[in-house]
Chains A and B, each alone.
Chain A
Protein backbone atom coordinates (compact mmCIF):
# COMPACT_ATOMS: atom_id res chain seq x y z
CA UNK A 1 0.00 0.00 0.00
CA UNK A 2 1.21 3.49 -0.66
CA UNK A 3 1.97 5.90 2.14
CA UNK A 4 -0.86 8.20 3.18
CA UNK A 5 1.63 11.05 2.70
CA UNK A 6 1.43 10.80 -1.09
CA UNK A 7 -2.27 11.54 -0.86
CA UNK A 8 -1.70 14.50 1.38
CA UNK A 9 0.86 16.22 -0.83
CA UNK A 10 -1.67 16.67 -3.58
CA UNK A 11 -0.17 14.31 -6.15
CA UNK A 12 -3.40 12.33 -5.97
CA UNK A 13 -3.69 11.10 -9.55
CA UNK A 14 -0.31 9.39 -9.98
CA UNK A 15 -0.65 7.94 -6.48
CA UNK A 16 -3.99 6.41 -7.29
CA UNK A 17 -2.83 5.07 -10.65
CA UNK A 18 0.22 3.54 -9.05
CA UNK A 19 -1.94 2.02 -6.34
CA UNK A 20 -4.24 0.51 -8.92
CA UNK A 21 -1.32 -0.83 -10.94
CA UNK A 22 0.22 -2.38 -7.86
CA UNK A 23 -3.14 -3.84 -6.93
CA UNK A 24 -3.64 -5.37 -10.37
CA UNK A 25 -0.11 -6.78 -10.28
CA UNK A 26 -0.93 -8.79 -7.17
CA UNK A 27 -4.52 -9.53 -8.14
CA UNK A 28 -3.57 -10.98 -11.52
CA UNK A 29 -1.26 -13.47 -9.83
CA UNK A 30 -4.38 -15.32 -8.76
CA UNK A 31 -5.70 -17.13 -11.83
CA UNK A 32 -8.99 -18.04 -10.16
CA UNK A 33 -9.64 -14.44 -9.22
CA UNK A 34 -9.14 -13.25 -12.80
CA UNK A 35 -11.49 -15.95 -14.10
CA UNK A 36 -14.02 -14.95 -11.46
CA UNK A 37 -13.73 -11.32 -12.49
CA UNK A 38 -14.27 -12.16 -16.16
CA UNK A 39 -17.35 -14.24 -15.34
CA UNK A 40 -18.66 -11.47 -13.13
CA UNK A 41 -18.21 -8.83 -15.84
CA UNK A 42 -20.01 -11.09 -18.31
CA UNK A 43 -22.86 -11.48 -15.83
CA UNK A 44 -23.11 -7.72 -15.43
CA UNK A 45 -23.26 -7.34 -19.22
CA UNK A 46 -25.93 -10.02 -19.45
CA UNK A 47 -27.94 -8.25 -16.76
CA UNK A 48 -27.56 -4.85 -18.42
CA UNK A 49 -28.55 -6.04 -21.87
CA UNK A 50 -31.05 -8.69 -20.77
CA UNK A 51 -33.95 -7.49 -22.97
CA UNK A 52 -31.64 -7.52 -26.02
CA UNK A 53 -30.03 -10.90 -25.38
CA UNK A 54 -33.02 -12.89 -24.15
CA UNK A 55 -34.75 -14.72 -27.02
CA UNK A 56 -38.19 -14.40 -25.40
CA UNK A 57 -39.96 -12.36 -22.77
CA UNK A 58 -39.35 -13.85 -19.30
CA UNK A 59 -43.07 -13.99 -18.57
CA UNK A 60 -44.49 -15.00 -21.96
CA UNK A 61 -46.21 -18.39 -21.69
CA UNK A 62 -45.99 -20.68 -24.70
CA UNK A 63 -49.06 -22.78 -24.11
CA UNK A 64 -48.03 -25.31 -26.76
CA UNK A 65 -44.65 -25.95 -25.14
CA UNK A 66 -45.14 -26.85 -21.49
CA UNK A 67 -42.09 -28.48 -19.83
CA UNK A 68 -40.22 -28.77 -23.14
CA UNK A 69 -36.79 -30.34 -22.53
CA UNK A 70 -33.57 -28.55 -23.54
CA UNK A 71 -33.03 -28.35 -27.27
CA UNK A 72 -30.38 -31.09 -27.40
CA UNK A 73 -32.67 -33.64 -25.79
CA UNK A 74 -35.31 -35.73 -27.49
CA UNK A 75 -38.45 -33.61 -27.72
CA UNK A 76 -36.52 -30.37 -27.33
CA UNK A 77 -37.17 -27.39 -29.56
CA UNK A 78 -34.48 -25.16 -30.99
CA UNK A 79 -36.21 -21.93 -29.96
CA UNK A 80 -36.06 -23.00 -26.31
CA UNK A 81 -32.36 -23.69 -25.74
CA UNK A 82 -32.68 -24.67 -22.07
CA UNK A 83 -36.29 -25.84 -22.30
CA UNK A 84 -39.43 -24.38 -20.79
CA UNK A 85 -41.06 -24.51 -17.37
CA UNK A 86 -44.46 -25.82 -16.30
CA UNK A 87 -46.38 -22.90 -17.78
CA UNK A 88 -44.34 -22.77 -20.98
CA UNK A 89 -41.95 -19.91 -20.20
CA UNK A 90 -38.50 -20.01 -21.78
CA UNK A 91 -36.00 -20.90 -19.05
CA UNK A 92 -33.00 -19.25 -20.71
CA UNK A 93 -34.84 -15.93 -21.01
CA UNK A 94 -35.92 -16.15 -17.38
CA UNK A 95 -32.36 -16.90 -16.27
CA UNK A 96 -31.02 -13.93 -18.26
CA UNK A 97 -33.55 -11.61 -16.67
CA UNK A 98 -32.92 -13.25 -13.31
CA UNK A 99 -29.31 -12.05 -13.45
CA UNK A 100 -30.70 -8.53 -13.10
CA UNK A 101 -32.46 -9.38 -9.84
CA UNK A 102 -29.55 -11.23 -8.30
CA UNK A 103 -27.02 -8.53 -9.12
CA UNK A 104 -29.45 -5.82 -8.04
CA UNK A 105 -30.04 -7.61 -4.73
CA UNK A 106 -26.31 -8.00 -4.18
CA UNK A 107 -25.60 -4.37 -5.03
CA UNK A 108 -28.42 -2.88 -2.96
CA UNK A 109 -27.63 -5.05 0.06
CA UNK A 110 -23.93 -4.19 -0.09
CA UNK A 111 -24.59 -0.46 -0.47
CA UNK A 112 -27.08 -0.49 2.40
CA UNK A 113 -25.03 -2.59 4.81
CA UNK A 114 -21.70 -1.02 3.85
CA UNK A 115 -22.87 2.58 4.22
CA UNK A 116 -24.70 2.11 7.51
CA UNK A 117 -21.93 -0.18 8.73
CA UNK A 118 -19.25 2.43 7.97
CA UNK A 119 -21.20 5.21 9.69
CA UNK A 120 -21.86 3.16 12.82
CA UNK A 121 -18.34 1.74 12.86
CA UNK A 122 -16.73 5.17 12.49
CA UNK A 123 -19.01 6.53 15.18
CA UNK A 124 -18.23 3.69 17.59
CA UNK A 125 -14.50 3.73 17.00
CA UNK A 126 -14.17 7.51 16.96
CA UNK A 127 -16.54 8.47 19.78
CA UNK A 128 -15.76 5.54 22.10
CA UNK A 129 -17.53 5.66 25.48
CA UNK A 130 -21.17 4.70 25.76
CA UNK A 131 -21.86 5.21 22.03
CA UNK A 132 -19.29 2.54 21.32
CA UNK A 133 -20.63 0.18 23.97
CA UNK A 134 -24.27 0.50 22.97
CA UNK A 135 -23.58 0.15 19.23
CA UNK A 136 -21.31 -2.84 19.61
CA UNK A 137 -23.67 -4.64 21.99
CA UNK A 138 -26.48 -4.26 19.46
CA UNK A 139 -24.22 -5.64 16.73
CA UNK A 140 -23.22 -8.58 18.92
CA UNK A 141 -26.87 -9.36 19.46
CA UNK A 142 -27.64 -9.40 15.76
CA UNK A 143 -24.69 -11.74 15.30
CA UNK A 144 -26.02 -14.03 18.05
CA UNK A 145 -28.73 -15.19 15.67
CA UNK A 146 -28.09 -17.40 12.64
CA UNK A 147 -28.25 -14.73 9.92
CA UNK A 148 -30.57 -16.51 7.52
CA UNK A 149 -32.98 -17.29 10.35
CA UNK A 150 -33.13 -13.67 11.47
CA UNK A 151 -33.65 -12.47 7.90
CA UNK A 152 -36.30 -15.13 7.40
CA UNK A 153 -38.31 -14.11 10.45
CA UNK A 154 -37.96 -10.45 9.58
CA UNK A 155 -39.29 -10.99 6.08
CA UNK A 156 -42.06 -13.21 7.43
CA UNK A 157 -43.23 -10.40 9.67
CA UNK A 158 -42.64 -7.47 7.30
CA UNK A 159 -44.27 -9.40 4.48
CA UNK A 160 -42.67 -11.38 1.63
CA UNK A 161 -41.14 -9.49 -1.26
CA UNK A 162 -37.95 -8.31 -2.88
CA UNK A 163 -37.62 -4.99 -1.01
CA UNK A 164 -38.12 -6.53 2.43
CA UNK A 165 -35.71 -9.32 1.52
CA UNK A 166 -33.00 -6.78 0.72
CA UNK A 167 -33.64 -4.79 3.90
CA UNK A 168 -33.56 -7.91 6.07
CA UNK A 169 -30.37 -9.28 4.54
CA UNK A 170 -28.68 -5.88 4.73
CA UNK A 171 -29.56 -5.70 8.41
CA UNK A 172 -28.07 -9.09 9.26
CA UNK A 173 -24.89 -8.48 7.23
CA UNK A 174 -24.25 -4.97 8.49
CA UNK A 175 -22.66 -5.87 11.89
CA UNK A 176 -19.64 -7.31 10.07
CA UNK A 177 -18.99 -3.91 8.49
CA UNK A 178 -19.46 -2.11 11.79
CA UNK A 179 -16.96 -4.37 13.51
CA UNK A 180 -14.40 -4.13 10.71
CA UNK A 181 -14.67 -0.34 10.47
CA UNK A 182 -14.47 0.10 14.21
CA UNK A 183 -11.38 -2.04 14.64
CA UNK A 184 -9.69 -0.37 11.67
CA UNK A 185 -10.48 3.05 13.11
CA UNK A 186 -9.08 2.06 16.49
CA UNK A 187 -5.92 0.92 14.74
CA UNK A 188 -5.55 4.21 12.85
CA UNK A 189 -6.60 6.73 15.52
CA UNK A 190 -3.25 6.95 17.27
CA UNK A 191 -1.18 7.20 14.11
CA UNK A 192 0.75 10.33 13.33
CA UNK A 193 -1.13 11.40 10.23
CA UNK A 194 -4.37 11.46 12.22
CA UNK A 195 -2.81 13.38 15.06
CA UNK A 196 -1.30 15.90 12.64
CA UNK A 197 -4.65 16.38 10.90
CA UNK A 198 -6.17 16.99 14.31
CA UNK A 199 -3.48 19.52 15.19
CA UNK A 200 -4.03 21.37 11.93
CA UNK A 201 -7.63 21.74 13.02
CA UNK A 202 -9.63 19.19 11.06
CA UNK A 203 -13.21 18.81 12.30
CA UNK A 204 -14.71 15.56 13.53
CA UNK A 205 -16.49 14.76 10.30
CA UNK A 206 -13.40 15.51 8.23
CA UNK A 207 -11.25 13.38 10.50
CA UNK A 208 -13.70 10.49 10.36
CA UNK A 209 -14.55 10.41 6.69
CA UNK A 210 -11.64 12.03 4.87
CA UNK A 211 -8.63 11.30 7.05
CA UNK A 212 -9.27 7.93 8.68
CA UNK A 213 -11.77 6.16 6.44
CA UNK A 214 -9.66 5.97 3.25
CA UNK A 215 -7.00 4.08 5.18
CA UNK A 216 -9.47 1.49 6.47
CA UNK A 217 -10.86 0.57 3.09
CA UNK A 218 -8.98 -2.63 2.25
CA UNK A 219 -10.75 -5.02 4.66
CA UNK A 220 -14.06 -3.33 3.90
CA UNK A 221 -13.69 -3.96 0.17
CA UNK A 222 -13.00 -7.65 0.79
CA UNK A 223 -15.94 -7.95 3.18
CA UNK A 224 -18.19 -6.12 0.70
CA UNK A 225 -17.34 -8.65 -2.00
CA UNK A 226 -18.06 -11.59 0.28
CA UNK A 227 -21.30 -9.94 1.43
CA UNK A 228 -22.31 -9.52 -2.18
CA UNK A 229 -22.25 -13.26 -2.71
CA UNK A 230 -23.84 -14.00 0.67
CA UNK A 231 -26.66 -11.60 -0.19
CA UNK A 232 -27.32 -13.35 -3.49
CA UNK A 233 -27.29 -16.75 -1.80
CA UNK A 234 -29.54 -15.72 1.08
CA UNK A 235 -31.98 -13.88 -1.19
CA UNK A 236 -32.22 -16.97 -3.37
CA UNK A 237 -32.81 -19.09 -0.26
CA UNK A 238 -35.62 -16.79 0.84
CA UNK A 239 -37.04 -16.89 -2.67
CA UNK A 240 -36.86 -20.68 -2.54
CA UNK A 241 -38.77 -20.68 0.76
CA UNK A 242 -41.46 -18.54 -0.88
CA UNK A 243 -40.61 -15.39 1.07
CA UNK A 244 -38.36 -13.51 -1.34
CA UNK A 245 -39.30 -12.22 -4.76
CA UNK A 246 -42.77 -13.41 -5.66
CA UNK A 247 -43.81 -15.24 -8.84
CA UNK A 248 -43.81 -14.54 -11.73
CA UNK A 249 -40.58 -12.60 -11.01
CA UNK A 250 -37.77 -14.54 -12.70
CA UNK A 251 -35.59 -14.52 -9.57
CA UNK A 252 -33.45 -17.67 -9.51
CA UNK A 253 -34.44 -18.85 -6.03
CA UNK A 254 -38.11 -18.22 -6.75
CA UNK A 255 -37.76 -20.19 -10.00
CA UNK A 256 -36.40 -23.12 -7.99
CA UNK A 257 -39.35 -22.94 -5.61
CA UNK A 258 -41.77 -23.11 -8.54
CA UNK A 259 -39.79 -25.98 -10.06
CA UNK A 260 -39.68 -28.16 -6.94
CA UNK A 261 -42.76 -30.22 -7.70
CA UNK A 262 -41.40 -31.20 -11.12
CA UNK A 263 -37.96 -32.36 -10.05
CA UNK A 264 -38.45 -36.01 -10.90
CA UNK A 265 -40.21 -35.23 -14.20
CA UNK A 266 -38.20 -32.35 -15.63
CA UNK A 267 -34.61 -32.08 -14.40
CA UNK A 268 -33.92 -28.92 -16.41
CA UNK A 269 -36.36 -26.69 -14.53
CA UNK A 270 -34.39 -27.38 -11.35
CA UNK A 271 -30.85 -27.68 -12.66
CA UNK A 272 -30.33 -24.43 -14.55
CA UNK A 273 -31.53 -21.81 -12.05
CA UNK A 274 -29.40 -23.37 -9.31
CA UNK A 275 -26.42 -23.55 -11.64
CA UNK A 276 -26.85 -19.84 -12.34
CA UNK A 277 -26.78 -19.11 -8.61
CA UNK A 278 -23.73 -21.30 -8.07
CA UNK A 279 -21.75 -19.80 -10.95
CA UNK A 280 -22.53 -16.24 -9.87
CA UNK A 281 -21.70 -16.82 -6.21
CA UNK A 282 -18.57 -18.78 -7.08
CA UNK A 283 -17.31 -16.05 -9.42
CA UNK A 284 -17.79 -13.40 -6.75
CA UNK A 285 -16.14 -15.53 -4.07
CA UNK A 286 -13.16 -16.10 -6.38
CA UNK A 287 -12.84 -12.35 -6.84
CA UNK A 288 -13.16 -11.91 -3.07
CA UNK A 289 -10.34 -14.37 -2.39
CA UNK A 290 -8.19 -12.59 -4.95
CA UNK A 291 -8.96 -9.20 -3.43
CA UNK A 292 -8.07 -10.46 0.03
CA UNK A 293 -4.72 -11.75 -1.18
CA UNK A 294 -4.00 -8.57 -3.12
CA UNK A 295 -5.11 -6.11 -0.46
CA UNK A 296 -3.81 -7.85 2.64
CA UNK A 297 -0.23 -6.70 3.10
CA UNK A 298 0.51 -9.48 5.57
CA UNK A 299 -0.15 -12.18 3.02
CA UNK A 300 1.63 -10.23 0.32
CA UNK A 301 5.00 -10.38 1.98
CA UNK A 302 4.88 -14.10 2.68
Chain B
Protein backbone atom coordinates (compact mmCIF):
# COMPACT_ATOMS: atom_id res chain seq x y z
CA UNK B 1 0.00 0.00 0.00
CA UNK B 2 1.42 3.40 -0.96
CA UNK B 3 1.37 6.35 1.38
CA UNK B 4 -1.54 8.21 -0.18
CA UNK B 5 -4.30 9.88 1.71
CA UNK B 6 -6.71 7.80 3.77
CA UNK B 7 -9.36 8.26 1.10
CA UNK B 8 -6.94 7.36 -1.67
CA UNK B 9 -5.99 4.13 0.05
CA UNK B 10 -9.54 2.81 0.11
CA UNK B 11 -10.80 4.29 -3.16
CA UNK B 12 -11.75 1.56 -5.60
CA UNK B 13 -11.89 -1.10 -2.88
CA UNK B 14 -15.46 -0.37 -1.94
CA UNK B 15 -18.74 -1.11 -3.53
CA UNK B 16 -18.74 2.00 -5.77
CA UNK B 17 -22.46 2.77 -5.94
CA UNK B 18 -23.58 -0.84 -5.86
CA UNK B 19 -23.42 -1.35 -2.09
CA UNK B 20 -27.17 -1.60 -1.63
CA UNK B 21 -27.78 -3.82 -4.67
CA UNK B 22 -27.51 -7.16 -2.84
CA UNK B 23 -29.42 -5.83 0.17
CA UNK B 24 -32.26 -4.48 -1.94
CA UNK B 25 -32.63 -7.65 -4.03
CA UNK B 26 -32.77 -9.69 -0.84
CA UNK B 27 -35.72 -7.53 0.31
CA UNK B 28 -37.53 -7.53 -3.03
CA UNK B 29 -37.33 -11.32 -3.36
CA UNK B 30 -38.39 -11.58 0.30
CA UNK B 31 -41.62 -9.73 -0.54
CA UNK B 32 -42.17 -12.07 -3.48
CA UNK B 33 -41.54 -15.06 -1.23
CA UNK B 34 -44.13 -13.92 1.33
CA UNK B 35 -46.83 -13.88 -1.37
CA UNK B 36 -45.76 -16.91 -3.41
CA UNK B 37 -44.55 -19.30 -0.70
CA UNK B 38 -47.58 -18.24 1.36
CA UNK B 39 -49.75 -19.34 -1.57
CA UNK B 40 -47.86 -22.64 -1.79
CA UNK B 41 -48.17 -23.22 1.97
CA UNK B 42 -51.95 -22.67 2.01
CA UNK B 43 -52.33 -24.84 -1.12
CA UNK B 44 -50.38 -27.69 0.53
CA UNK B 45 -52.70 -27.58 3.54
CA UNK B 46 -55.86 -27.60 1.40
CA UNK B 47 -54.83 -30.19 -1.24
CA UNK B 48 -55.20 -33.96 -0.83
CA UNK B 49 -51.41 -34.29 -1.11
CA UNK B 50 -51.32 -38.09 -1.49
CA UNK B 51 -53.69 -37.99 -4.52
CA UNK B 52 -51.50 -37.64 -7.64
CA UNK B 53 -54.40 -36.82 -9.97
CA UNK B 54 -55.76 -34.05 -7.76
CA UNK B 55 -52.35 -32.43 -7.18
CA UNK B 56 -51.55 -32.68 -10.91
CA UNK B 57 -54.84 -30.98 -11.88
CA UNK B 58 -54.03 -28.20 -9.42
CA UNK B 59 -50.46 -27.73 -10.72
CA UNK B 60 -51.49 -27.79 -14.39
CA UNK B 61 -53.91 -24.88 -13.90
CA UNK B 62 -52.25 -21.98 -15.85
CA UNK B 63 -52.50 -19.49 -12.94
CA UNK B 64 -51.07 -22.00 -10.47
CA UNK B 65 -48.28 -23.02 -12.89
CA UNK B 66 -47.37 -19.35 -13.40
CA UNK B 67 -47.36 -18.72 -9.62
CA UNK B 68 -45.13 -21.78 -9.10
CA UNK B 69 -42.65 -20.60 -11.77
CA UNK B 70 -42.52 -17.12 -10.23
CA UNK B 71 -42.07 -18.71 -6.79
CA UNK B 72 -39.11 -20.80 -8.02
CA UNK B 73 -37.42 -17.69 -9.48
CA UNK B 74 -38.02 -15.64 -6.32
CA UNK B 75 -37.03 -18.41 -3.90
CA UNK B 76 -33.89 -19.53 -5.73
CA UNK B 77 -32.74 -15.94 -6.24
CA UNK B 78 -33.33 -15.23 -2.54
CA UNK B 79 -31.56 -18.40 -1.39
CA UNK B 80 -28.59 -17.68 -3.69
CA UNK B 81 -28.13 -14.29 -2.02
CA UNK B 82 -28.61 -15.74 1.46
CA UNK B 83 -26.25 -18.70 1.05
CA UNK B 84 -23.70 -16.36 -0.58
CA UNK B 85 -23.52 -14.30 2.63
CA UNK B 86 -23.19 -17.48 4.69
CA UNK B 87 -20.29 -18.66 2.50
CA UNK B 88 -18.59 -15.25 2.65
CA UNK B 89 -18.83 -15.28 6.44
CA UNK B 90 -17.75 -18.82 7.20
CA UNK B 91 -15.68 -20.17 4.30
CA UNK B 92 -12.13 -18.83 4.55
CA UNK B 93 -9.39 -18.89 1.95
CA UNK B 94 -9.71 -17.39 -1.51
CA UNK B 95 -9.77 -20.65 -3.49
CA UNK B 96 -12.17 -22.51 -1.20
CA UNK B 97 -14.55 -19.56 -1.06
CA UNK B 98 -14.52 -19.12 -4.83
CA UNK B 99 -15.17 -22.85 -5.28
CA UNK B 100 -18.08 -22.72 -2.79
CA UNK B 101 -19.59 -19.76 -4.63
CA UNK B 102 -19.32 -21.58 -7.97
CA UNK B 103 -21.10 -24.63 -6.50
CA UNK B 104 -23.74 -22.31 -5.02
CA UNK B 105 -24.43 -20.77 -8.44
CA UNK B 106 -24.69 -24.22 -10.04
CA UNK B 107 -27.15 -25.24 -7.31
CA UNK B 108 -29.28 -22.09 -7.49
CA UNK B 109 -29.52 -21.87 -11.28
CA UNK B 110 -29.69 -25.63 -11.81
CA UNK B 111 -32.35 -26.09 -9.12
CA UNK B 112 -34.51 -23.29 -10.47
CA UNK B 113 -34.17 -24.63 -14.04
CA UNK B 114 -35.11 -28.17 -12.95
CA UNK B 115 -38.16 -26.88 -11.08
CA UNK B 116 -39.34 -24.60 -13.90
CA UNK B 117 -38.87 -27.39 -16.45
CA UNK B 118 -40.96 -29.75 -14.29
CA UNK B 119 -43.79 -27.21 -14.04
CA UNK B 120 -43.75 -26.45 -17.77
CA UNK B 121 -43.88 -30.19 -18.42
CA UNK B 122 -46.87 -30.57 -16.10
CA UNK B 123 -48.70 -27.55 -17.47
CA UNK B 124 -48.12 -28.28 -21.18
CA UNK B 125 -48.44 -32.09 -21.16
CA UNK B 126 -51.23 -33.34 -23.43
CA UNK B 127 -54.10 -34.18 -21.09
CA UNK B 128 -54.81 -37.57 -22.71
CA UNK B 129 -51.24 -38.82 -22.50
CA UNK B 130 -50.32 -37.38 -19.14
CA UNK B 131 -46.76 -36.46 -18.28
CA UNK B 132 -44.18 -39.17 -18.04
CA UNK B 133 -40.47 -39.41 -17.31
CA UNK B 134 -38.65 -36.71 -15.36
Q: Are chains A and B native binding partners rather than an unrelated pairing?
A: no
